[in-house]
Each structure stands twice: as C-alpha cells, then as structure tokens.
Amino acid sequence: MNDTWEKLYEECSSCTACELSKTRTNCVFGTGNREADILFIGEAPGDNEDKTGTPFVGRAGQLLDEYFYAVDIPRESVYIANILKCRPPKNRDPLPAEEDACIEFLRRQVKLINPKIIVCLGRISAMRLIRPDYKITKEHGQWVQKGNFLITAVYHPALLLRDPRKKEDMLTDMKSIKEKLDEITGKK
C-alpha cells in the first residue's frame, strides 16, 4: 500500500521502539513544505523542540532562520526534520541503536517529499546520511550525488553558537546551497 503522511505521522508519534519514547513530551516529526525541493536534516530535538513538537525552534533554530533569511530561502519553502524524532536526555548524542530504530521514519519522509537537495545540519546527520567517517570541518559545503539526491552538509547551528568563527563558512555554504537550488529549479 502507498505510504501517506497521515499514516507515517500516526506511527511516528506512537512509536515505542526505543527508550527515548518514555521521556519525550512530543514526538518531533518534522515541519515545512511537503513538496519542498530542499530538505534540511538535523540531529535530534532539544528541549524547546520536545516541548513544542517542532524542529529547530530554540536558539540554534533561530540562528538557522537568520541564515535562511540571509540567503533568501524562506523557511516555509523547505522541509526540516531530524535523524531522531525524540529528544535524547540532556541533549546527548544519539546512540547508534536509537538512530537505527528511528531512521526508517526519515527514509519514508524522504520518499514522500522526494527533494532534489538534502542538507545535513551537522556532523551526526552527515555521518549517518553521507559517510560514517565524514569530517565536517574538512568536507562541509562539498556536494555528493547519492541516488536521485544531491547532498551536502553544513555546520550545525548549535556549534556556531559555541564557535562563532565558523559563521563565515556557514554563510558561504548557505549561499552555495541557494545557488544550487536556483540552478536545479531553473530560477537561474
């Protein structure tokens, strides 16, 4: 049977496949344009996301919004999701077993959206979606073709809050993403 957003959301929000389901307030499913050309994928929900059920609404999300604004990619035009749909305690890194338990939901989201471009937000997402030994410091901003998708990774906005010297690289990468998007969608 064909997958649907309703079915996927229902399964995701009632999932008990890992321990994180016991401590979540909300499942943070994903948000945005379900027909987006571009899909941004972060790591896992934080406190604000767990409380609201929406990805990237805390400080890191506000910084991400500034980059969307700076390069003229409206947030409403993209889809934003995470590798994990439930918040890890104290915002620790996802465990491999948690990623394995959750990744099918993301795969199904990718299939339903069928974006042209996927942007990994941070190293955890890049290591899962591009290569396990991905080195974000060296490889951020580079493009990789994977199946039907063009994939790149940028620094995680939470890292930029801790290390503002990386903000210049982030702006360069986001500008290149906007250029690629325009190129692919024929706006250029």
Binding site for ligand URA (CB under 6 A): 42-46, 49, 55-56, 58, 60-61, 82, 121, 158
Q: Which is nearer to ligand URA, 30 or 115 (CB)?
A: 30
**CA 46/CA 59 separation, integer angstroms:** 10
Shortest distance in whole angstroms from residue 45 CB to ligand URA? 5
Q: Nearer Cβ to ligand URA, position 164 or 179?
A: 164
Q: What are 119's strand-pairing partners?
A: 40, 152
Q: Around Cβ 127, how many Cβ atoms within 10 Å?
A: 19
For ligand URA, the closer of residues 45 and 115 by Cβ is 45
Q: Which residue is nearest to ligand URA (CB)?
A: 42
The minimum distance between CB 144 and ligand URA, in angstroms, equals: 20
Q: Which is nearer to ligand URA, 43 or 150 (CB)?
A: 43
Shortest Å, Cβ 157 to ligand URA: 7
Q: Compute the distance between CA of residue 136 and CA of residue 115 in angstroms, rounded to an integer.
A: 22
- DSSP letters along 123-158, please? HHHHHHHT-TT--HHHHTT--EEETTEEEEEE--HH
CB of 124 to ligand URA, least distance (A): 8
Nearer residue to ligand URA within complex by CB, 63 or 117: 63
Which residue matches tokens 């199946």?
147
DSSP string, 2-66: ---HHHHHHHHHT--SSTHHHH-SS----EE-TT-SEEEEES---HHHHHHS-SS-SHHHHHHHH
From the CB of 187, what's the least distance to ligand URA, in Å?
28
